[in-house]
Amino acid sequence: MFLRRMAGPLLGGVKEMTGIVGLPVVPNARDVLIGLYQKTLEAVKPIPESAQYRKTVEEITRHRLAICNEEDDWREIEKRVGNGQVEQLIQQAKDELTLIPKMTEWKPWEAPEGYKVQIVIEENDIPSHVPIHR
């Protein structure tokens, strides 16, 4: 009883398991996330600033990095980010770092030279309760 009462506050911030098969606890998750987010912001720089992909990655990454810098407790990071456990956030950040070089190679923000967008308008019967904007 004495041990439980005295050790309880000390162990309160220690995560024992994620509850997700194959996803182990990362004891220093905050530090890992900060490092991954800094790498992500650096890795996305070769992508044009006008590309929506870069804008979105930078916005999400800066937001999450700010939270990690403001919070020391992994529970608060999870709550404020609102996108899973810190271990899942680590996996997401690693996945993004894998995707960035591929996006840089594929350049989805560029249309092939001479590419013409085809607009298709279908005249379907529209139910009377659906407003028509013209």
> For 48-82, what is each residue's pLDDT tens digit?
999 999 999 999 999 999 999 999 999 999 999 99
pLDDT at 99: 98
Residues 109-130 have a mean pLDDT of 82
Number of domains into which the chain is organized: 1
How many residues does this entry show for the chain?
A: 134
User: pLDDT band at residue 38, thresholds of 50, 70 and 90?
Assistant: very high
Q: Is residue 72 part of a domain?
A: yes
pLDDT at 13: 74
Q: Is residue 1 part of a domain?
A: no
Residues 98-108 have a mean pLDDT of 97
Q: Is residue 39 part of a domain?
A: yes
Residue 71, both tokens: 């919070």
> pTM of whole model > 0.85?
no
Please enumerate, as own/partner, the contacts of 24-30 that have beta carbons within 8 Å and a separation of 24 or more. Answer: 24/87, 25/87, 26/86, 26/87, 26/90, 29/74, 29/77, 29/86, 29/87, 29/89, 29/90, 30/68, 30/71, 30/72, 30/74, 30/77, 30/86
Least confident range from 19-23, 106-110, 117-121: namely 117-121
Q: Is residue 65 part of a domain?
A: yes
pLDDT at 91 over 90: yes
Q: Is residue 11 part of a domain?
A: no
pLDDT at 126: 74
| pLDDT 10s digits, 3-33 | 545 554 555 578 999 999 999 999 999 999 9
Q: Is residue 5 part of a domain?
A: no
Q: Is residue 3 part of a domain?
A: no
Domain that holds residue 74: 17-106
Q: Is residue 100 part of a domain?
A: yes
